[in-house]
Structure 1
Amino acid sequence: MKGPLFYSKILLFGEYGIIKDSRGLSIPYNFFKGALKKSKNLRGAALKSNENLKRFAEHLETVQEDESIEVAFDLELLRSDLAEGMYFDSSIPQGYGVGSSGALVAAIYDRYAIGKITILENLTRDKLLKLKGIFGRMESYFHGKSSGLDPLNSYLSLPILINSQDNIESTSIPSQHTEGKGAVFLLDSGIVGETAPMVQIFMEKMKQEGFRQVLKDQFIRYTDACVEDFISGNVKSLFGNIKQLSHVVLDHFKPMIPKEFHHLWKQGIETNAYYLKLCGSGGGGYILGFTEDLSKARKALKGHRLEVVYNF
């Protein structure tokens, strides 16, 4: 048995903001992927995955008992596959903000959900919301509360536009200019980030009136503008708004930026060689970068590995 591939994702815009109804844009990232496989002699990461999936199967039992979520799983088949050595074989780094648990959730839903919503159907907004709700409950096993967007992105393998929490749609993004000088890239912080503590910090900050005001007047405003610019291909306006967004994050989301990257963040804003933003919840993992001139950015970030995600 070798299941279909499920890809990692990148939330280009919307981290933290989508909790408070900003817009967001999430795209599949095919560089990393995972699939369900079986092995008769499990060891190392495969054995760990198999054991974790056994606990996850127990969680799925509680998910299908939840009357607010309409989903049922073939748990008998899941348990028998696990007894035969099934594991999730994945190249998606964990704690890096690129959706490692999302791909796993998508793979399990695809194989074991009874009467599943398939990607071949006419995916109405209601169906997308229903899937997002199911995936959110499934993924809550991994980090407390989940929006369900990562598994949705992985399952559909399409860019997803988040207009608000209950208004999402699949979308198309402008074609890449492979010869273009500009790029979106990933910068490896070399640190594993944990989602739950970062979200906790954000929730604590939300108790302050001043922070709530900044979130609404600046963070969400620039996030929404970036989403609009990216989708409509307005690159000049996009970089102006990303610079502002990068600034707001440096000023108000410092705990989410690994300390050793504070100066690089500031340097980007001051030199305009690149602009950095959070990729997922922050605290480690990848940092997202945007540049109008990739060779200039590489020079400025010498000694760091840059993975290009999209070319302008």
Structure 2
Amino acid sequence: MKQSLFHAKVLLFGEYGILENSSGLSIPHNSYQGTLKFQSTSSKEFSYSNLELKKYYKFLLKKKRKNLVSLDLYKLHEDIQKGIFFHSNIPQGYGIGSSGALVAAIYEKYATNKLKKCVIKKEQKHIISLKRTFSQMESFFHGKSSGIDPLICYLNIPLLIRSKTNISTIKIPFLKGRGAIFLLDSGIPRTSSMINFFLKKLNHDKFKKILKEEFFKYNEKCIEAFLKKDFQVLLKHVKSLSAWGFHHFRPIIPEKFCKIWEEGLFTNIHYLKLCGFGGGGFMLVFTPDYDLSKEKLKQYTTEVLFRF
């Protein structure tokens, strides 16, 4: 079987907000990837993944009966019986698209009437259509999905999300400098979906108003500064975004990182923000001086995504 690799992703800006039709900027993260493969001998990874694929198959079968997805589920079921599983080094519950990569892999192998990736990348209407499909497919894992994670994992290119119906491909420059955007490993996998925390907050009109008036504004300014390569301005707006997140999302920030988060805002050494749904996994860190930040956080594992 030809094995296609599907890489992880990082949503630099727009966590939670894209579910409410705000902007986002997402990039592939090629250090982690997964692929569908067959296993002839039993292992812990195989047993767990194959069992999860059986559950996922039943979910997709219901979606197909409602004409929401177009997949060759007979072939998927057959392959599950033969021992197919998702072989991946993408950590689960870390906010970098472990479920997105799996969804992308299932679509690649079992989708019917599939367009070539080169065609999808060129026309926005195909990107939007594919995002809708991925939204349905990934809802199994999170209850509600924007479809962006599998889209990034499938196309493996940076995407600029302006709204649910306005998504375009972009190029991220390769730069060198003291500053950096990097991942900070909390060492704590997310144990459950944190999206319910956000959805409950959305039930309150006051929070929804604050989200649109403050979060959307800070988020938009961060994206604008990043695209203009104005990193001094970027850090200024990231600080506002980090402070906002600390105030409104504190219950889903791992407790031992609350002090680090708050100290960063006070000292301006670095600014933290959620990566994915929160509750554990990776966090994103923005710093004007990576060496200094790395020294301050030397007890934790860090991984650079972008230098400036």
**What TM-score bracket applies, with the shorter chain setting the length?**
over 0.9
Deviation at 1:255, TM superposition (A): 0.9
Aligned mate of 1:220, from 210, 216, 219: 216
The aligned counterpart of 1:19 is 19
In 1, are the aligned partners of 2:19 and 2:145 still within 8 Å (CA)? Answer: no
- 1:93-124 residue CA offsets vs partner (Å, 9 max, x unmatched): 00000000100010010011011122021542
The aligned counterpart of 1:53 is 53
Letter in 2 for 1:299: E
For residues 130-145 of structure 1, what are the structure 2 equivalents within 5 Å?
Answer: 130-145=129-144
- Structure 1 residues 306 and 208 mapped into 2: Cα distance closer, same or farther (>3 Å)? same
| Structure 1 counterpart SS, 2:11 | strand
Deviation at 1:2, TM superposition (A): 4.5
Counting aligned pairs with the same residue, the percent is 44
| Structure 1 counterpart SS, 2:112 | coil
The aligned counterpart of 1:117 is 115
Alignment RMSD (CA, Å): 1.4
For residues 131-170 of structure 1, what are the structure 2 equivalents within 5 Å?
Answer: 131-170=130-169
Aligned mate of 1:255, from 235, 242, 251: 251
**Residue 191 (str. 1) matches residue 166 (str. 2):** no
The aligned counterpart of 1:277 is 273
Aligned mate of 1:297, from 289, 293, 300: 293
| Structure 2 counterpart SS, 1:121 | helix
For residues 78-89 of structure 1, what are the structure 2 equivalents within 5 Å?
Answer: 78-89=76-87
Letter in 2 for 1:4: S
- 1:192-249 residue CA offsets vs partner (Å, 9 max, x unmatched): 11463x2211122223333223212211100011111112211111011001110111
Q: Structure 2 stretches of 5 or more lacking a match?
A: none
| Structure 1 counterpart SS, 2:33 | strand
**Residue 307 (str. 1) matches residue 303 (str. 2):** yes
Letter in 1 for 2:123: T
| Structure 2 counterpart SS, 1:154 | helix
Deviation at 1:17, TM superposition (A): 1.2
- 1:136-163 residue CA offsets vs partner (Å, 9 max, x unmatched): 1111111211111110000000111110
| Structure 2 counterpart SS, 1:29 | strand
| Structure 2 counterpart SS, 1:120 | helix
The 10-residue stretch of structure 1 (51-60 or 204-213) with the greater mean CA deviation from structure 2: 204-213
Distance 1:209 1:195 in 2: 25
The aligned counterpart of 1:73 is 71
Q: Report the count of equivalent residues.
A: 307
In 2, are the aligned partners of 1:41 and 1:85 still within 8 Å (CA)? Answer: no
Deviation at 1:80, TM superposition (A): 2.2
| Structure 1 counterpart SS, 2:233 | helix
TM-score normalised over the length of structure 2: 0.96
Distance 1:195 1:233 in 2: 36
| Structure 1 counterpart SS, 2:117 | coil
Distance 1:227 1:193 in 2: 26
TM-score normalised over the length of structure 1: 0.94
| Structure 2 counterpart SS, 1:145 | coil
- 1:237-283 residue CA offsets vs partner (Å, 9 max, x unmatched): 10110011101111111112111111100111111111100001111
The aligned counterpart of 1:240 is 236
In 2, are the aligned partners of 1:74 and 1:114 still within 8 Å (CA)? Answer: yes
